[in-house]
Copies of this chain bind each other. A is one copy, B any other.
Amino acid sequence: MTIDGLISEENMLLAEGPAISSRIRLARNIEQYSFPNWATKETKKEVWDLCIDAFTEMKETFVGVEMGTLSELDRDLLFEQHLISQELAGKDTGSGVFIAHNKTLTIMVNEEDHIRIQALHPGLDLKAAWKQADKLDDELEKRVTYAFSSKLGYLTSCPSNVGTGMRASVMLHLPGLVLMEEMEPVMNGISKIGLAVRGMWGEGTEAAGNMFQISNQITLGRSEKEIVEHLEQIVSELIEHEKNARERLLQDRTIIIKDQVARALGILSCARLITSSEALNFLSMLRLGYSLGVVKDFARNDLDKLFVAIQPAHLQKKRNKTMTSLDRDIFRADILRNFMDKNRLSEKNKLGIKNG
B255–A349 CB distance below 8 A = no
Quickly give the copy total for this chain.
Answer: 2
B271–A263 CB distance below 8 A = yes
Bound state CA distance, A353 and B265, in angstroms? 18
A258 within 8 A of B: yes
A272 within 8 A of B: yes
Residues of chain B with a CB closer than 8 A to A86's CB: none
A85 within 8 A of B: no
A141 within 8 A of B: no
Residues of chain B with a CB closer than 8 A to A255's CB: 272-273, 326, 330
A271–B267 CB distance below 8 A = no
A269 within 8 A of B: yes
Bound state CA distance, A333 and B356, in angstroms? 12
B270–A256 CB distance below 8 A = no
Residues of chain B with a CB closer than 8 A to A302's CB: none
From B263, B271, B326, contact of A262 by CB (8 A):
B271
User: Chain A interface mostly helix, strand, loop or mixed?
Assistant: helix
How far does the Cβ of A275 sit from chain B's closest Cβ, in whole Å?
A: 11
B346–A334 CB distance below 8 A = no
A272–B262 CB distance below 8 A = yes
A233 within 8 A of B: no
Closest B-chain residue to A350, C-beta based? B341
B272–A355 CB distance below 8 A = yes
From B266, B330, B355, contact of A269 by CB (8 A):
B266
Closest B-chain residue to A330, C-beta based? B255
How far does the Cβ of A334 sit from chain B's closest Cβ, in whole Å?
A: 7
A49 within 8 A of B: no
From B259, B265, B269, B333, contact of A333 by CB (8 A):
B259
Known: A259-B333, A355-B330, A355-B334. Is A265-B272 also a contact (CB below 8 A)?
no
How far does the Cβ of A195 sit from chain B's closest Cβ, in whole Å?
A: 37
22 pairs from A and B in contact (CB 8 Å cutoff): A255-B273, A255-B330, A256-B273, A259-B271, A259-B272, A259-B273, A262-B270, A262-B271, A263-B267, A263-B270, A263-B271, A265-B270, A266-B267, A266-B269, A266-B270, A267-B267, A269-B270, A270-B346, A272-B353, A330-B355, A341-B350, A346-B346
Query: Which A residues are within 8 Å of any B CB, using their own CB?
Result: 255-256, 258-259, 262-263, 265-267, 269-273, 326, 330, 333-334, 341, 346, 349-350, 353, 355
In addition to A262-B270, A262-B271, 14 A-B residue pairs with Cβ atoms within 8 Å of each other are A255-B272, A256-B273, A259-B272, A259-B273, A262-B272, A265-B266, A266-B267, A266-B269, A269-B346, A270-B346, A270-B349, A272-B353, A334-B355, A341-B350
